[in-house]
Amino acid sequence: MWKSIHPAPPDSILGLTEEFKKDQNPQKVNLGVGVYKDEAGNTPVLHCVKAAEKVLLETQSSKSYLPISGDPAYSAAVQRLIFGADSEVISAGRAATVHAPGGTGALRVGADLLHKFTPDAKVWVSSPTWANHNGIFGAAGFEIARYSYYDGETKGLDFARMMNDLETVPAADVVVLHACCHNPSGVDLNEDQWKQLAVLASQKGWVPFLDFAYQGFGDGVDEDRFAVEQFAAAGIDFLVASSFSKNFGLYNERTGAITVVTPSAAEASVALSHIKTVVRTNYSNPPAHGGLVATIILDTPELRTMWLEELAGMRNRIVTMRKSLVAGLAAQGVDGDFSFIERQRGMFSFSGWSDDVVSSLRKNNNIYVVGGGRINLAGLTTSNIDYVCASVAAAMK
């Protein structure tokens, strides 16, 4: 049956990693996929994860199925992390959290859930957004629309146009928001802007769907939940897709969660029953290991402290690389003001490098950048930064 069927295109980001792996040049640099790398260019297992795995190895007595919604201790730990331990959402019991296979799985479970009840709604994504948002919500059956977000002139947020666009979004449509560390631009809303957006959401009745894949990579775990707190305080329906791929380095353990927040505990319990149906008819119940590890870390004070320190180490290294890149490009005499790279947050920046520059870096210097010029700052190290800056200078001549 496959003879007459055209192959599907590769994922633009994951496909780049395949190309990178094949490259034999020892100087090669991967600024593509959003995976953290340390100063040695490795993506290590965090020490807190190793310690939790040791506990698990010694204490785990069964590999029997988890419940459909995952381990209740995990859901509780996730809620404390995303809302804050003393949140009213938790004490009121008005959120349902289900362990999902990664942030992608969480988005898809949420999308399938919403599509069951509002199949005619549109899903609004930022322009630009993580390419897989289109894929995930499209696969769930939704029509996708775009709202203004990034301003190529200022290399910042076009908040006025964003608000104008979101003013027109009808009630029950879904608006996907990056809770922090916007992928691909690195441009976030400030606190006042999040407040205004939460007011707009509650006035208009559209459903915010927060993609929270980088908690801890902006300013810190507590600081980065600001957006979630604003929608929680508004008392409206919204969803949060958490991923622990980046902040726990649990990429291949597929560790995430979908949280549906509602105005009341009774509604949360109805939502939970339907999330379980979505999960049961998709993959039945989640993979256990990553969730168990994250729960041990979050619920053990010493391991939690260790985690926060390791996470701060990752965050601070990226900030240092942002500074080094701006300084390095200036030292190479590259034309233009690159200070915006220091203002952007999280793993990514829109470098502003043209397609010609991106392809020249790839061809001549074995430096891999996603089309459109998004760079993963974590791919930079003190050993490769000079090479990258010199290569960019040559490519831009």
Where does this chain bind ligand TYF (CB under 6 A)?
11, 13-14, 33-34, 130, 132, 183
Cα dihedral angle (323, 327, 328, 332), rounded to 10 degrees?
A: 160
Tokens matching residue 23: 């490259």
Which residue lies nearer to ligand TYF by CB, 142 or 251? 251
Tell me how far CA of residue 329 lies from CA of 40, 324, 395, in angstroms: 22, 8, 12
* CB 348 to ligand TYF: min, Å: 7
* CB 15 to ligand TYF: min, Å: 9
Residue 129, CB-side half-sphere exposure with 13 Å CA sphere: 25
Q: What share of the chain is helix, strand, coil (3-state, %, to 5)?
A: 50, 15, 40
- The catalytic residue among 112, 173, 211, 224 is 211
Span near ligand PLP by CB under 6 A; candidates 98-106, 306-314, 316-324, 365-373? 98-106
Contact criterion met (CB below 8 Å) for 95 and 261: yes
Which residue lies nearer to ligand TYF by CB, 183 or 295? 183
DSSP 129-147: --HHHHHHHHHTT-EEEEE
* CB 17 to ligand PLP: min, Å: 12
Among 16, 29, 30, 34, binds ligand PLP (CB under 6 A): 34
The reply to whether 130 belongs to the active site is: yes
Among 211, 224, 229, 310, binds ligand PLP (CB under 6 A): 211
Is residue 329 classed exposed, middle or buried when 0-12, 13-18 and 19+ CB atoms within 10 A define those classes? Answer: buried
- The catalytic residue among 37, 122, 124, 130 is 130
| Binding status of residue 232 toward ligand PLP by CB under 6 A | no
- The catalytic residue among 194, 246, 307, 353 is 246
Site string for ligand PLP, 247-266 (x = CB under 6 A): ---------x----------
Span near ligand PLP by CB under 6 A; candidates 96-104, 114-122, 138-146, 271-279? 96-104
Looking only at the bridges linking them, the beta strands covering 348-350 and 29-30 are unpaired
Contact criterion met (CB below 8 Å) for 83 and 89: yes
Which residue lies nearer to ligand PLP by CB, 125 or 392? 125
Residue 243's binding partner among ligand TYF, ligand PLP, none (Cβ under 5 to 8 angstroms by kind) is: ligand PLP
| Binding status of residue 140 toward ligand PLP by CB under 6 A | no
Which residue lies nearer to ligand PLP by CB, 217 or 338? 217
> What is the C-alpha R_g of the chain?
21
d(C-alpha 249, C-alpha 98), whole Å? 20
* CB 16 to ligand TYF: min, Å: 9
Residues 6+ apart with CB under 8 A from 297: 48, 49, 52, 248, 303, 304, 306, 307
d(C-alpha 193, C-alpha 99), whole Å? 30
Beta bridge mates, 59: none
Which residue lies nearer to ligand TYF by CB, 75 or 249? 249
* CB 154 to ligand PLP: min, Å: 22
The reply to whether 63 belongs to the active site is: no
* CB 290 to ligand TYF: min, Å: 15
d(C-alpha 263, C-alpha 270), whole Å? 12
The reply to whether 155 belongs to the active site is: no
Residue 211's binding partner among ligand PLP, ligand TYF, none (Cβ under 5 to 8 angstroms by kind) is: ligand PLP
d(C-alpha 167, C-alpha 161), whole Å? 10
Residue 11's binding partner among ligand PLP, ligand TYF, none (Cβ under 5 to 8 angstroms by kind) is: ligand TYF
| Binding status of residue 130 toward ligand PLP by CB under 6 A | yes
d(C-alpha 259, C-alpha 368), whole Å? 35
Which residue lies nearer to ligand TYF by CB, 202 or 245? 245
| Binding status of residue 183 toward ligand PLP by CB under 6 A | yes
| Binding status of residue 245 toward ligand PLP by CB under 6 A | yes
Residues 6+ apart with CB under 8 A from 310: 46, 47, 48
* CB 392 to ligand PLP: min, Å: 24
Phi-psi region of 7 (alpha: psi -120 to 50; beta: other; left: phi over 0): beta
- Residues with catalytic function: 130, 211, 246
Give the binding site for ligand PLP (CB under 6 A).
34, 102-104, 130, 178, 183, 211, 213, 243, 245, 256
